[in-house]
Chains A and B, each alone.
Chain A
């Protein structure tokens, strides 16, 4: 390898890991210690940010990487919320089992609906997922076992302190984030990133599209279900029209679009902006979704890849180290082998 090549590759190597590690350590220290120095309001805000980040990451995993733009993610939020309600209110079991049930029910439901909806392409898939969620909502409204349209008060939520709910949200957020980081750092993730950039080309290079999409769908559904349980632990009341309401997916889309689709950092940034905006617009409930919609449209026009896309383009910033880099020493090994 030439000296010119070595000079080109050298500078990028050193600086980024330091920034990455400092950012991650600061974030973890702040989040873990937050309940001990932050007031109730701040803790509640971060509880929401962590939960929305979790569902944003899962929607992003589907739409941003697997190319599956779903408008039916609320089905899993509702299933998660109802799993928590049934476990704690009907079966009177420890509420944490509701999280386990949420994951299991969501995966089973995702697997069942995957057969018809995976035969739908592009916009038909999007419409299909939405219809499935709507059908589920109607079904729950007429199902006596889940108390029809009346729903449930989730009383366990009132017995928990805001700190307990915060740490549950922290756990769910961490699971969602680590799941995406782990996936993207794996061989499977390499294929997903290829799919994200060019589906047809990735298939020619050997990526099995159906299998990859199905795995993504199942993982995303399971964690969205768990996040749904956490969200309803915070909201303390669930009924079909709210649990399976499309507002959930609209939030996920906003978070991902604003933050940056197809990046891990995007939903983190998006969820912070989303929750803060929702708080600022609290007194304008009739207009809040309209204003969020306008912001999303402007953002798409100005920065189609979201805030993280802009940052990534300009700096190559990669907080979670999912990018594979070549070191000079790697080429030296190849050169030496060739020389022999």
Chain B
């Protein structure tokens, strides 16, 4: 291959269900995985169910206000405990099969004939707990027995991209409010979505609105190619909006050098964060199959902006268009992944060469040769 080009992964890595099963075990069930906005769990008993690798996970708020996470499986005969995507229980999770009942800390508190079985340890037969962390107002879980370092894996990804943690802390994401959430059902492999997010070689072709706001994107080098670089707004652009209009109130703690700039971060394996002066955009991917990924995207603004009912439409519309354009492109690639023409993969041009680092990382996690 010429020095201008690097190889991509071969096509079957995007279609093979065995490879996907390996990714579920070695990546999604082994790493920190961002599942929900902490605000989604409004009070004790509030819960969401999410798919992490092969497991359904209940994320919920306990009586003491802490977030908890459990595998969504009754310890008795294995029935799915919560079948809804979200909801609120009053005091306990109860299995709809035999009424085994667990408190908000996962302890078994009642079951038919339970007192006749005094040898049952109610904690040991409680729900299987999953590790939980909260960061930037999001709930992260890890299904591994021994989770990797959150500091190295998650915070480290931010430092790698932005140069330091202060650069993201300036946006105070934990104090922002979700102004809009859009859920995308993308018929494409999760790696195509990551690769797309990492490069901007496609920007001038499929993102006319984004390239209007960030003219430097027309040269194909994404904000993620450099360390600590934010793409500058164009000279006539007043805000990060679909029509370049001013947007809403700027987050006051954003630094002067971060003003009028766009930053993008990929936190492997499934989170993308975009930062602009008046909002943050957080994507969480839920890979469901080799060819299907749910992407939940939040647009976060200052609380007073959301509560006052200010028009966030033009701000949301810009990246919603980008999302639709990107996911259409990913869906355009997915069917070709099984083509003879792509059996040995494709190529990365120089402005995409950093994606090879992502490919090396995937192969290493899966224990597969280059």
Decide whether A and B are members of one complex. no
A positions within 8 Å CB-CB of B:
none
B positions within 8 Å CB-CB of A:
none
